């Protein structure tokens, strides 16, 4: 895997991260990792719990309340700052 491939993998959006590299989400305004993502859940009567059915584009920082579509920065875990 080339360096460019790794960078693409780190910024591509997927619910499950299929690449070997783990990513983290960071607020570009305050640096917080407490990022919430809008999502939809459906009630599963068999399991008696909410099941995540989709995630939306909108992301909100818990700490500074900034929000927007794909607002958070994607960083490869362990990468130098």
Nearest distance from C-beta of residue 23 to Zn ion, angstroms: 17
Give whichever of 29 and 58 is closer to Zn ion, judged by the CB atom.
29
The secondary element (H helix, E strand) that includes residue 32 is none
Cβ–Cβ under 8 Å, residues 11 and 26: no
CA pair distance 3, 30, nearest whole angstrom: 28
- Site residues for Zn ion, 14-53, by CB under 5 A, read 27, 29-30, 32
CA pair distance 38, 46, nearest whole angstrom: 24
Question: Two tokens at 29?
Answer: 């305004």
Give whichever of 8 and 34 is closer to Zn ion, judged by the CB atom.
34
Give whichever of 9 and 35 is closer to Zn ion, judged by the CB atom.
35
Nearest distance from C-beta of residue 36 to Zn ion, angstroms: 11
- Contact residues: Zn ion, CB under 5 A: 27, 29-30, 32, 61, 63-64
């Amino acid at each position: 895997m080339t360096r460019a491939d790794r960078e693409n993998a780190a910024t591509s959006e997927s619910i499950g991260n299929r690449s070997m590299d783990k990513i983290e989400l960071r607020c570009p305004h305050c640096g917080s990792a407490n990022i919430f993502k809008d999502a939809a859940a459906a009630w599963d009567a068999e399991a008696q719990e909410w099941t995540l059915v989709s995630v939306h584009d909108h992301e909100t920082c818990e700490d500074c309340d900034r929000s927007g579509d794909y607002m958070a920065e994607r960083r490869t875990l362990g990468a130098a700052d």
